[in-house]
Structure 1
Amino acid sequence: MSEKGPGAAPREIKPVMLKQAEKLMGEIRGCDRGHLKRDLERIKKARRKTKDSSDSHAALEKLISGLKASAEERRRRMSTPPDTSYPAELPIVVRREEIVDAIRKNQVIVLSGETGSGKTTQIPKMCIEAGRGVDGLIGCTQPRRIAAITVAERIAEELKNPELVGCKIRFHDSSKAPNYIRVMTDGILLAEAQGHPALNAYDTLIIDEAHERSLNIDVLLGMVRKLIDRRRNLKVIITSATLDTQKFSKHFRDAPIIEVSGRTYPVEIRYEEPVEGSDRENAASSLAERTAVAISSLIKESRSGDILAFLPTEIDIRETMMIAGREFA
């Protein structure tokens, strides 16, 4: 607290303090640099305007304390990154070294991985292994809220530390200072960009499920394309579940493409005739019955393994469960 009063001498800012602050500015985390630099400029401006710089002196002491804390956090993250391990059964793990090396050497990479390859949960951890998450968060966008929640939970479970992963969706934000990774909906990142166009909170951005090409995703791709010219230290990974990756690569100046296989077991595809009839209730009932019949047929063929059935609505799911329950009661 600064002292003021008839007998109190003004506390002047010594040049050595300003030099210390400017030196520390080059050692802090990138996510802190913007607001701390603005604070330093305000202090310099106030110092030039008034002879009594007691308030500026106190503000500079506080700023130097913040700079030291940020620099120390950056050193800690560089020297002791979180331990990363990978499930050996996921196809993407075979390409781990190649992907980590590509992240280190390129500002943008495009990764194509079929469903089941493990790209969504493993790429953020590979970013940590590549040295990301030091100057800012590793941001990972998801098209849907439930996906953001479940992905964040899964990554935290694999890292064995929930403090390392935050989740931010509408009306819910579990982000904390120790976070390395933030999983969020694409709409959340767009909202953040309105207030902070440079997105300095992040040193890495993963745009997941880019093949969906929703309006939010397309806007994000355009925004990030401009942002990488302003922020050369920003890394961007675009992931897609389709092989149509050339468009994404071309959009980002022929960014390198890495393709990862998805299935680790043979898959047989069988097709059923579409449900006929215009009456919605009858169609729903028919869908539930046909699904239950298909499940029964699969079980009769083989008792090994599990069955996962996807249905369009909760009503369809409940009706199928009821019919299947009677079948196997």
Structure 2
Amino acid sequence: MEFRHLGRSGLVVSEISYGNWITHGSQVEEDAAVACVHAALDEGITTFDTADVYAQGRAEEVLGRALRGQRRDGLEIFSKLYWPVGPGRNDRGLSRKHVIRAVEESLRRLGTDYLDLYQAHRFDHATPLEETLRAFDDLVRQGKVLYVGVSEWRADEIERALKIADEMGLDRIVSNQPQYNMLWRVIESEVVPLCEREGVGQIVWSPIAQGVLTGKYKPGQPPPAGSRATDEKSGAHFVRRYLDDQDLLTRVQELAPLAAEAGLSPAQLAVAWVLQNPNVSSAIIGASRPEQVRDNVKAAGVRLDAGLMSRIDELLSEFVQRDPSLTASPKERP
């Protein structure tokens, strides 16, 4: 495993982190989830990402039990808040009330007394940004949170947060957690340049595009049994936008020989590709089986040559999403 700083902060994280969105508490049984976490630990992953909304808290509980007995100071545990976690009007968003209550619940479920990173899962248009940042800063000063970050925020939202933090003398955000892969590159034109300038690192999710970049979804064929596309509980709707494009699926098949040239599987190539971006601090992988973890971690430390990167660009260019406006938070709290 290789390690990088989280943005310009002093916190060091594993290049590949383990995330349990969809899988823990919903898609796979707990023994399988625990086996995946232990495989991640065995492979040198020290960074684990979750959120209170994943399986309505069950994902945090499973992760907490899976990490029990590990040396806490040797781990970096991240969680997030924003989406509804209860029926109440204040069980969502980034109000001070919800931030303070949500972190206590996450700490309880995870079985830890602090989070290494606490992230605003989306931008909350209904709460003054000053209120959220002050609440985050209070958590840092209380030692319940060591660093704060955001997820799926636009460049102007990140810039506003940094400006307010500087003006008010609050802790700055050190990270953003966006979707990023060979096909979804909406952060490159605005978010990445800003974050490089301001010392904010990217912790990217979906580096293999929900499994599409592995090549397992063949054009003209039904999805493989047991794959994410066949399981509504595992986010099948996220994959369908790709599966409807037969030309894309055909083109993705051509990644396999490029991966082979580099001595990688298509999945390893996809993870290694996002790690070539110097603003990426870590790439989040998920798994329903330990062997998936063991396969994906082989992308750590891989350096792809410029020629291969260019060939990937040429192969997929007509299918790539680049519009920064595609990063959007709900205008009203869900």
So what's the TM-score if we normalise by structure 1? 0.34
Higher-Rg structure is 1
So what's the TM-score if we normalise by structure 2? 0.33
Structure with greater contact order relative to length (CA < 8 Å, sep ≥ 6): 2
